[in-house]
Structure 1
Amino acid sequence: MLRDATEDDVNLMLSWRNQEVNRQVSKTSHVIGADEHRRWWSAVRTDPTRRVLSYLRDGVPAGVVTFFDLRLDGPRTGSWGFYLDADGLAERGETLPAWLEVMREAVDHAFDVLTLDRLAGEVLAHNTVVRQMNRRFRFVEGEGRQEIHDGREITVIPISLDRANRRRR
């Protein structure tokens, strides 16, 4: 289940975002400090072009879904990303089911709640498992581009999914 993130979620979000597995598949791979995270939270919670949602698995907070660059007039578009409590889900043997569930719920939210026409995102080229999962959900990859973040060169691949091409349950 997805719900609006609250102040009570802030510390959990930071701890999950700083898990090694999440940092290595993110454009910014440094450990995020409390001040940096607070500045981010202060900015996103009042930004009309952003939404931050908590993902609950069996009623327990287990991840974060962010929507950003929302354009809700004219062609309705937006971008998204997510990360999970990778360590906690792995301990419980729930990583794959949670991953499938959060992607389904995020895509449904984008098209059914935000009523987007197109959902975009990015994936790092070396993240082959996520790229494969994105294809399963019918996201289309664009041409990769080289970027430098946190002193490392990465290849970022844009992805997109149009409303008409989404996989229905």
Structure 2
Amino acid sequence: MLRQATDEDVDTIRALRNQQANRDVSITTHEISAEEHAGWWAKTSVDPSRRVLIYERDGRTAGVVNFFDLDAGTGAWGFFLDADGLAETGETLPAWIEVMKEATGYAFDTLGLDELTGEVLEHNTVVRQMNRRFRFTEGEPELRYADGRELTVIPIKLSEADRRKPKETR
């Protein structure tokens, strides 16, 4: 289940984002300080071009979905899961599939987007495979520098017309 993030979620969002597994697959890998995170939340929580959602699984916070650059039918997204907690319970893959289904559904059915974009690091082959499973296409790789390292970032996109449609319940 996805729900809107609130001020009460801020510390949890930061803790999940700072998990080593999430930092390892992010463009910026430094540990985010409380002050940096508070500044981000102060801007993000009032920005009409953004949505921050909490992904809940079995009644507990299991991830965070960020939508940004929302404008006239297009938007970008990213997400991270409670890598440590889900690995401990053996639920990483089912949660990953579920959050992607729910997030792409939210993008197209709730936000009314025609196109959803994002980015993935070239070396993150597992995420790239999952993105393809969800019919995202990859663009031309881009070279970037962040946190003192050189990265190859691949833009991804999914159009509403190409998405996997939810199965109808009977």
TM-score by length of 2: 0.97
Residue 149 of structure 1 is matched in structure 2 by 146
Q: Does 1:19 align with 2:19?
A: yes
Please list every run of at least 4 consecutive aligned residues from structure 1 whose deviation after the TM superposition is greater than 6 angstroms: none
- The letter for the 2-side match of 1:151 is G
Residue 159 of structure 1 is matched in structure 2 by 156
Paired-residue identity, %: 64
* CA displacement, residues 30-74 of structure 1 (integer Å, 9 cap, x when unaligned): 0000000000000000001000000000111111000000003xx
Q: For this pair of structures, how many residues does the alignment match?
A: 166
- SS of 2:63's partner is strand
Correspondences of 1:31-50 after superposition (within 5 Å): 31-50=31-50
1:82 positional shift: 0.1
Structure 1 residue ranges without an equivalent (≥5): none
1:8 positional shift: 1.1
* 2:82 paired residue among 54, 61, 85: 85
Q: CA RMSD in A?
A: 0.5
- SS of 2:31's partner is coil
- The letter for the 2-side match of 1:98 is A
Residue 129 of structure 2 is matched in structure 1 by 132
- SS of 2:164's partner is coil
TM-score by length of 1: 0.97
Question: 2: distance between equivalents of 1:132 and 1:35?
Answer: 35
Q: Does 1:55 align with 2:55?
A: yes
- SS of 2:27's partner is coil
1:157 positional shift: 0.2
